[in-house]
Structure formats: C-alpha cells, structure tokens
Amino acid sequence: MRSFGQKIRNLRESQELLLRQVAASIEIDQALLSKIERGERIATKNQVIALANFFVIDERELLTLWLGEKIAYEIKHEDIANDALKVAEEAIHYLKTPKD
C-alpha cells in the first residue's frame, strides 16, 4: 500500500517540482512538507485539500487516503483495533441513516 506521503512525493517528483515550490504554493514550510512526505508528520485536512488542488487530483481520493492513515496511526498499537474499526463502521452507518 502506498502511503499518503509517498503519493505526494511521487506527484511532486513526476512533475519535476522541488519541495520548496510545492510548499510555497500551499503556504507551508518546506521542512514540514518533507516530513509529511516521509511520514513523520500528518498533514492537516486543509493542507490535504490544498495539495489536491495544487496537483489537480481528486480531493476525495486524497482525503480518503489521508484519513485512513490518520485513523490507523491513532489505533495501531491497540490490540482491539480491528474490532474498534468494525464498531466505528457500524456507528458511521447508523449516524448516516435518516431517522424517522
């Protein structure tokens, strides 16, 4: 599975852009973008949206990858992580179901 950071790096490198060019265009520090690409920092939702707009890619796809990684990072050391994800999936479905 390709990580969020790897995807951003691949997009940047495929367009032959420097870290500083991308960072400046989305108004973040070059060091922060480097850490996001290496998986050392988690981008904010606003940064993800800015990156999607900058690279002209599907915002939903990038947000999905980012949020999935963010959730995994939060629960990675929990023995009951898979069970918790099942409960969360049911809760999301329940919360989205229109109430009569």
For 95, the token pair is 């919360």
* Cα–Cα distance, 30 to 19 (Å, whole number): 6
For 5, the token pair is 């950071």
Smallest Cα–Cα separation from 26: which of 48, 59, 1?
48
What is the percent of the chain where pLDDT is above 70?
A: 97
- At 42-75, the pLDDT tens digits run 999 999 999 999 999 999 999 999 999 999 888 9
Give the pLDDT score at 24: 98
Domain range annotation of the chain? 4-96
What CA–CA distances, in Å, run from 67 to 13, 50, 62?
23, 15, 9
Smallest Cα–Cα separation from 41: which of 49, 50, 26, 30?
30
Q: Does domain 4-96 have CATH number 1.10.260.40?
A: yes
